[in-house]
């Protein structure tokens, strides 16, 4: 049983980066549409508690844009904080343009998320980290 679990862990770690980024986004309560083939980003090392830092971005179709602009009150404490930036900003080290809608929250005392959507380019950005 131990060998089977270890084999699964090795298989999972050898998956391409986009696999891990999709999974991180989904674990945070979101879904990357199946048609998205290019996901940019990075994933940090998993710590002792199984947490890791991750940043990702991808582009959606115009038809899906409104879906990504609507924040769920179940996932965000104050969805009304999702407002456009007035200056250049960063999401986990990725520069985002002025006018990009951004929200940042500490979802718990240890878990921080930044979510952003640039309507002009239809680009979605996400960053998560635990302290």
CA–CA distances in Å: residue 13 to residues 54, 80, 130? 15, 37, 20
| Count of Cβ atoms closer than 10 Å to residue 82 Cβ | 18
Residue 119 has pLDDT above 60, yes or no: yes
Average pLDDT over residues 80-87: 94
12 lies in a domain?
no
Residue 67 has pLDDT above 80, yes or no: yes
10 lies in a domain?
no
pLDDT of residue 117: 96
Higher pLDDT among residues 31 and 5, named by residue? 31
Range of the domain at 109: 17-130
7 lies in a domain?
no
Distance CA 93, CA 129 (A): 12
95 lies in a domain?
yes
Average pLDDT over residues 122-129: 92
Q: What is the tally of structural domains in the chain?
A: 1
1 lies in a domain?
no
Average pLDDT over residues 78-104: 93
8 lies in a domain?
no
3 lies in a domain?
no
pLDDT of residue 4: 64
């Amino acid at each position: 049983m131990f060998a089977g679990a270890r084999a699964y862990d090795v298989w999972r770690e050898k998956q391409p980066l986009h696999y891990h980024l999709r999974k991180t986004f989904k674990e945070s309560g979101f879904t990357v549409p199946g048609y998205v083939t290019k996901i940019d980003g990075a994933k940090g090392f998993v710590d002792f508690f199984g947490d890791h830092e991750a940043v990702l971005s991808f582009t959606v179709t115009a038809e899906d844009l409104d879906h990504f602009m609507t924040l769920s009150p179940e996932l965000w404490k104050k969805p009304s904080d999702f407002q456009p930036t007035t200056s250049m900003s960063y999401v986990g080290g990725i520069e985002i343009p002025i006018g990009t809608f951004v929200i940042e929250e500490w979802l718990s005392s240890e878990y921080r998320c930044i979510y952003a959507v640039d309507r002009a380019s239809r680009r979605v950005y996400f960053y998560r980290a635990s302290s």
